[in-house]
Amino acid sequence: MANLVISGGRRLIGDLQISGAKNAALPIIAASLLTAKEVQLSNVPSLEDTRVMTELIKSVGAKTEIEGNTMYIMANNLYDGGVPEGLARKIRCSIHMIGALLPRLGKIEVPLPGGDDLGMRKIDLHIKGLTALGATVNTSNQSISAQANRLIGADIVLSFPSVGATENIILAASLAMGITTIRNAAKEPEIIDMANFLNSMGAMIEDAGSELIKITGVDKLGGTKYTIMSDRINTGTYMVAAAITHGEVFLKNSNSVYLSAVIERLREAGIQIEETIEGIWVKATNGFQPLDITTEVYPGFPTDMQPLITPLLAIANGRSTVKETIWEQRFEHIPQLTKMGADINMKGDTAIITGVKNLNGARVMATDIRAGAALVIAGLAAKGETVIQDIYHIDRGYERIEEMLRSVGACIYRN
């Protein structure tokens, strides 16, 4: 299996084009199953996870065509032919097949979803939401199945603003009879993107992006042409990558509006950031100031950026803390960074990071998407050579990461 090999210490200089957002593309591809008319999606990131999602919708009869980053989906002839377990277990978003297929098929069974190993990854809120809409939901050790003649709008209160559960309920409620409200809904920008996509097909979703979302069910949805938002976490990744090399990079097709919490903290660390309509400009000339960070739901500091900012703090001038509040188990990158010379101690849900002068190249292992990207960032700054194994995790969320970084001066290749 291929590794990524990085010779660290080169400044990143130049322009990078940010791809479409994985975490918007995945639910939107699933949402395309809600209509029998043609859907055309632009800015679809070419990733392992989007390929898996495409195979998943094909497994229930959807026809797809892909030209570059444009995808055509036609779901006029769907069937519950048994979603392959191997595919469903690869990504978390396979569970969105329930919300998207239940209104079309009346009954669907999906193997339990997989995805990164970040903790318990419960699905109780998905089940609670679908049940409130009138579905009969059964789970076994292997799968989740749901059945409903016609879903009926309901008032649903989430005990935690889960991104996936909010999306799944919106999907199912779009074609339900009557009005659904979701209270304590997740506010992540990808939910707004999915709602905008559904509304462009004729759905009636109001106030996505707020904690109270209202969905008025419609009888059917039409076709659409839609452009997927740019990836805010990949933008953040390349911002940190540029900064840690004391580089100067312009990130095209990026949107700083959804990155306020990250930009604020990076500025506090001493990084220069300019937000323009065309994109985000990042420059770092001096050493980095330590930070105390706590992950929060949007608009707070995103959990997905937590592993990515850690290498920067590992070489900051002093002691930082990083507290993870969303996932029980999102510190798999810490032992790997320690191998590279980082001084990090864990205390419960908090990493205590004492800045060292520099990181050193080492042989390390990617354990999930963001942990893998964090090792790439660390490798760019480290003295000597870093070899990252198990890079399929990185390919799940980053389009051509080594080509992107090479284009701005990094010495990184796949072997």
> Interface residues with ligand EPU (CB under 6 A)?
23, 26, 92-93, 116, 119-126, 160, 162-165, 186, 188, 303-304, 326-327, 369-370, 397
CB of 124 to ligand EPU, least distance (A): 5
CB of 329 to ligand EPU, least distance (A): 9
Of 47 and 284, the one with the shorter C-beta distance to ligand EPU is: 47
Of 178, 165, 173, 227, give the one whose Cα is nearest residue 200: 227
Of 135, 137, 217, 205, give the one whose Cα is nearest residue 173: 217
CB of 84 to ligand EPU, least distance (A): 19
Of 91 and 337, the one with the shorter C-beta distance to ligand EPU is: 91
What CA–CA distances, in Å, run from 297 to 90, 185, 319? 24, 11, 24
Residue 8, token pair as written in the block: 């660290």
Of 164 and 247, the one with the shorter C-beta distance to ligand EPU is: 164
**How many Å apart are CA 314 and CA 20, to the nearest integer?**
29
CB of 309 to ligand EPU, least distance (A): 14
CB of 165 to ligand EPU, least distance (A): 5
Of 96 and 104, the one with the shorter C-beta distance to ligand EPU is: 96
381 close to 314: Cβ distance less than 8 angstroms: no
**How many Å apart are CA 60 and CA 397, to the nearest integer?**
24
Of 16 and 125, the one with the shorter C-beta distance to ligand EPU is: 125
Residue nearest to ligand EPU (CB): 164
Residue 65, token pair as written in the block: 């065509």
Residue 323, token pair as written in the block: 């507290």
Of 359 and 369, the one with the shorter C-beta distance to ligand EPU is: 369
CB of 220 to ligand EPU, least distance (A): 26
Rounded to 5 degrees, φ, ψ at 95 are -70, -20
Of 144 and 381, the one with the shorter C-beta distance to ligand EPU is: 144
CB of 23 to ligand EPU, least distance (A): 3
CB of 304 to ligand EPU, least distance (A): 5
Considering only CA atoms, give the Rg of the chain: 21
CB of 358 to ligand EPU, least distance (A): 27
Of 114 and 355, the one with the shorter C-beta distance to ligand EPU is: 114
Of 124 and 155, the one with the shorter C-beta distance to ligand EPU is: 124
